[in-house]
Amino acid sequence: MCNGHDTLKSNNKDLQEVEKQWDRRNFLTKTSLGLGALAFGSLLNSEKAWSNLGNPDAESTAANSFIKNRLGLPHHLPKAKRIVYLFQSGGPSQLDLWDYKPKIKDMFGQDLPESVRQGQRLTAMSALQENFPIAPSIMDFKQYGESRAWVSELMPYTSEIVDDLCFIKSMQTDQINHDPAITFMQTGNQLPGRPSMGAWLSYGLGSDNENLPTFITLITKNMTGQPLYSRLWGNGFLPTEHQGVQFRSGKDPVLYLSDPENYDGNDRRKMLDYLGKLNDVQHDTYGDPEIQARMAQYEMAFRMQTSVPEVTDMSDEPDYIFDLYGEDSRDPGTYAANCLMARKLLEKDVKFVQLYHQGWDQHIGCPEGIRAQCKRTDQANAALIKDLKQRGMLEDTLVVWGGEFGRTVYSQGQLTQSDYGRDHHPKAFTMWMAGAGVKPGFTYGETDDFSYNVVKDPVHVHDFHATLMHLFGIDHERLTFKHQGRRFRLTDVHGHVVNDLLS
């Protein structure tokens, strides 16, 4: 079939020369790819995942036999089975939301002492500023719940659930600009090319639902801000099927799932089987592992034809659920609707649901901007926690809220009594987690009076990653992938599990 070139032989002398070369080249590609395929085979994590491809019964047999984890995972008893990561892109101001700093109330407009800034690198946006006037938050803070956690007036719904949350006030990152910082947060490295957290988990632990992708990304529609590239949920050098699948924000989360007009789809299974055979031939010839990854994707798409319409159908959600998540949740593609969708996907045992919400980059007009952002997200965040909790899912679902960095205490641009802007700040910011295996109603770490430096229990992004892996039963130092001659891991050569956060 595709081996036709083997029979191509010419009488022409010149052509014969060319053919010879071709053969040698062919030999080289085939052998090198073949070796690559051998190596790849040893990296696959589930014994039976591939053996049935191209076999008409693949779906049923693969799903109906016990699949032992080939990577020797989990290393210890996992607390978390799935995760929803509510990524707040742009860098939400910890100073206006969680990190209450009453001492600077009467330092309004004073220059930030050099002893605090300590020559800290600034972005190009405020590096040229002549002074750094302190801008105390104009938001009203109160303590809530039995845990007496501080929350600003901007998050009224979240303040109701603080006893389920675990705040980390001492997050630190290495990066000061959006793209490297968000890449760092999602992949453990500032440069593009590494696998994202979700891809690592998919690679390490495999799927819990054969009919849906293991890693799904949802992005709030109609938001502007720093761009989000698909590499943030990419597989890097891990096998392709571990990349996150982005659902579109809107009514039709996955396009072209329904059959075109005048086609009933009855012979699609047959068609895929023949395609599978052709691809098998191709794979036997070239041994390219990506052919198998592609075949797996076709099969996944086939199963998604039934599974996706089912899971994205909101019509069976009662009104009180929409009321819980807020009015927006009826409008597909909004943050609230995505939170609700996330719950439905998690219910179906999708392992990693990643939400992105842009627009937290308040360089100017911070109070107004952040107020609007909270309005779009606060109720849905709280609703998601409550909804997961009442279904018992918070028991083994991890919820993470946070951005790529924090914001400065000094005002970028004009400071007035009611308005200020805030620049990027990597040295201290706040995140929260909830659910599986983390301490509820707990606050960890402290910043100084300016929310500028961490003074107690710093948690670096690498530590956060290590802790997250730990909750899934993975020793972050032992989940590695060899690529270009070196073993890589999510935490590179860093990271410590923050045991104090674990329940």
Partner 1 sequence: MQETSDFVLFLGRFHPLVVHLPIGFLLFAFLLEILARFQKNKALTVVVPLALLSGAISALVACILGYLLSQSGEYEKSMLDRHFWVGIGTTVVAFLAWAIRTDKIKISALQKLKPNMALLTLLVILIGITGHYGGNLTHGSEYLIKYAPFNAKAEKELPPLASLEEAQIYSYLVEPILEQKCMGCHNSSKQKGGLAMHTPNLLVKGGKGGAIFNAGNSAASELIKRVTLAEDHEDFMPPEGKTPLTEEEISLLTYWIDQANADFGITIASVETSEEIKQLAANSLGLDFEGEKNMVSTKLPEVPPVDPELLDELSASGFKIRELVIGASLFDVSLPPNTIPSNQNAQPSLELLLKIRANIIRLDVSENHISNEDLAIVGQFLNLRQLQLEKNPIDDEGIPKLMVLKQLESINLYGTKIGKASLPLFSQLSSLKTVYAWQTNLEKDDITFGNKNLTHPKIILGAL
CB of 359 to partner 1, least distance (A): 27
Q: Does 480 bind partner 1 (CB under 8 A)?
A: no
d(CA 230, CA 235): 10
What is the SS3 assignment for 293-317?
HHHHHHHHHHHHHHHHHHHHCCCCC
Q: Which stretch binds partner 1 (CB under 8 A): 65-73, 176-184, 262-270, 291-299?
A: 65-73
CB of 378 to partner 1, least distance (A): 15
Q: Does 73 bind partner 1 (CB under 8 A)?
A: yes
Q: Does 493 bind partner 1 (CB under 8 A)?
A: no
Q: Does 66 bind partner 1 (CB under 8 A)?
A: yes
Return the number of other C-beta atoms located less than 10 Å from residue 104's C-beta. 18
Instruction: Give the one residue of 219, 383, 431, 498 binding partner 1; rule: CB under 8 A.
Output: 383
CB of 210 to partner 1, least distance (A): 10
Instruction: Give the one residue of 20, 25, 76, 103 binding partner 1; rule: CB under 8 A.
Output: 76
d(CA 96, CA 151): 9
User: 231 vs 496, which CB is nearer to partner 1?
Assistant: 496
Q: Does 204 bind partner 1 (CB under 8 A)?
A: no
Return the number of other C-beta atoms located less than 10 Å from residue 85's C-beta. 22
User: 179 vs 347, which CB is nearer to partner 1?
Assistant: 347
What is the SS3 assignment for 45-92?
CECCCCCCCCCCCHHHHHHCCCCCECCCCCCCCCCCCEEEEEEECCCC
Instruction: Give the one residue of 16, 31, 32, 69 binding partner 1; rule: CB under 8 A.
Output: 69
Q: Does 378 bind partner 1 (CB under 8 A)?
A: no
CB of 343 to partner 1, least distance (A): 12
Q: Does 64 bind partner 1 (CB under 8 A)?
A: yes
- State the DSSP string of 423-485: EEE-S-EEEEEEETTB-SSEEE-EE-TTSSSEEE--EEHHHHHHHHHHHTT--TTT--EEETT
User: 391 vs 482, which CB is nearer to partner 1?
Assistant: 391
Strand partners, 410: 134
- The answer to whether the peptide bond before residue 74 is cis (omega within 30 degrees of 0) is yes
CB of 347 to partner 1, least distance (A): 10
DSSP label of 128: T
Residue 352: enclosing H or E segment and its boundaries? Answer: strand 352-357
Q: Which stretch binds partner 1 (CB under 8 A): 74-82, 400-408, 413-421, 460-468?
A: 74-82
Amino acid identity at 342: A
CB of 325 to partner 1, least distance (A): 11
Binding to partner 1, residues 208-267 (CB under 8 A):
208
User: 48 vs 376, which CB is nearer to partner 1?
Assistant: 48
| CA-based nearest residue to 283, from 292, 273, 275, 272 | 292
User: 256 vs 320, which CB is nearer to partner 1?
Assistant: 320
CB of 485 to partner 1, least distance (A): 20
Instruction: Give the one residue of 78, 198, 403, 495 binding partner 1; rule: CB under 8 A.
Output: 78
Q: Which stretch binds partner 1 (CB under 8 A): 13-21, 28-36, 221-229, 320-328?
A: 320-328
Cα 480 to Cα 49, 228, 246, 475, 490: the distances in Å are 20, 26, 25, 10, 8
Return the number of other C-beta atoms located less than 10 Å from residue 64's C-beta. 8
Binding to partner 1, residues 385-414 (CB under 8 A):
386-387, 389-392, 395-396
Q: Contact 161/385 with Cβ under 8 angstroms?
A: yes
User: 189 vs 397, which CB is nearer to partner 1?
Assistant: 397
CB of 74 to partner 1, least distance (A): 6
Cα 107 to Cα 86, 101, 136, 156: the distances in Å are 34, 11, 8, 27
CB of 392 to partner 1, least distance (A): 4
User: 132 vs 325, which CB is nearer to partner 1?
Assistant: 325
Q: Does 482 bind partner 1 (CB under 8 A)?
A: no
Helix then strand then coil, in percent of the chain rounded to 5, is 40, 15, 45
Beta carbons within 8 Å of 228's beta carbon, 6+ residues apart:
89, 182, 219, 356, 358
Q: Which stretch binds partner 1 (CB under 8 A): 93-101, 271-279, 316-324, 443-451?
A: 316-324
Return the number of other C-beta atoms located less than 10 Å from residue 151's C-beta. 25
Binding to partner 1, residues 94-123 (CB under 8 A):
none
| CA-based nearest residue to 360, from 371, 345, 348, 349 | 371
Instruction: Give the one residue of 324, 342, 345, 374 binding partner 1; rule: CB under 8 A.
Output: 324
Positions in the binding site for partner 1 (CB under 8 A): 64-66, 68-69, 72-78, 81, 208, 320, 323-324, 383, 386-387, 389-392, 395-396, 473, 477
